[in-house]
Amino acid sequence: MAQVNKILISPLPHQAMESKSTIEVIEGQGIVGDRYFYPDKKYSEAKFKRAPREITLVEKEALEQASAECNQAIEAEMLRRNVVTEGADLGNLEGKQFKVGDVILEGLELCQPCQHISDMNKMPLIKIMLNRAGLRSKIIKGGKINVNDPILPL
């Protein structure tokens, strides 16, 4: 069964990601306490011309595969994603709605690593994580997300 393996937020840009057991998410705003939370967003989607960053997910299996391929640990914190999934095929959730616990999300687009993330980690993450760096999602119905919550397509 697909489930939440780990939850991470960062209150400020460039600040280390913090592990949480539970987060509150609000539709149209994001994760309470995260750097992208509206109205306190530090980054504007319009400014960067990209999909909303209300919540991002990455597969634990993709991180493990990338780690094995480059013989170096690739952690979710390095990619700055919010929810690490286990047993979920995030590519199949792009353009679809799905449930995480009681929360409903819509997969907007697959994430690609950027030069900034590569520079921050002093690693070629653009090459290492190409086409497997996660899924940007919109919050359709808010609520709480907990570690071990099931992930179900709708």
> Residue with structure tokens 């509206």?
38
Residues 6+ apart with CB under 8 A from 125: 74, 78, 79, 113, 117, 118, 133
How is domain 3-153 classified at the architecture level of CATH? Beta Barrel (2.40)
- In what order do the strands lie in the sheet containing 143-146? 30-31, 22-26, 143-146
Kindly list the domain boundaries of the chain, sorted by start residue. Answer: 3-153
Please list the pLDDT of the chain residue by residue as tens digits (154 residues): 999 999 999 988 778 899 999 999 999 889 999 887 865 555 545 444 445 679 999 999 988 988 888 788 888 888 788 999 999 999 999 999 999 999 999 999 988 776 666 566 666 666 666 677 789 999 999 999 999 999 999 9
DSSP state, residue 112: -
pLDDT at 51: 52
> Residue with structure tokens 């600040």?
15
Phi then psi for residue 147, to 5 deg, are: -60, 140
Phi then psi for residue 33, to 5 deg, are: 95, -10
How far, in Å, CA of 149 to CA of 54, rounded? 18
- Nearest by Cα to 30 from 147, 148, 123, 138: 138
pLDDT at 121: 60
Model's pTM, two decimal places? 0.86
Q: How far is CA 36 from CA 122, 128, 140, in A?
A: 24, 25, 16
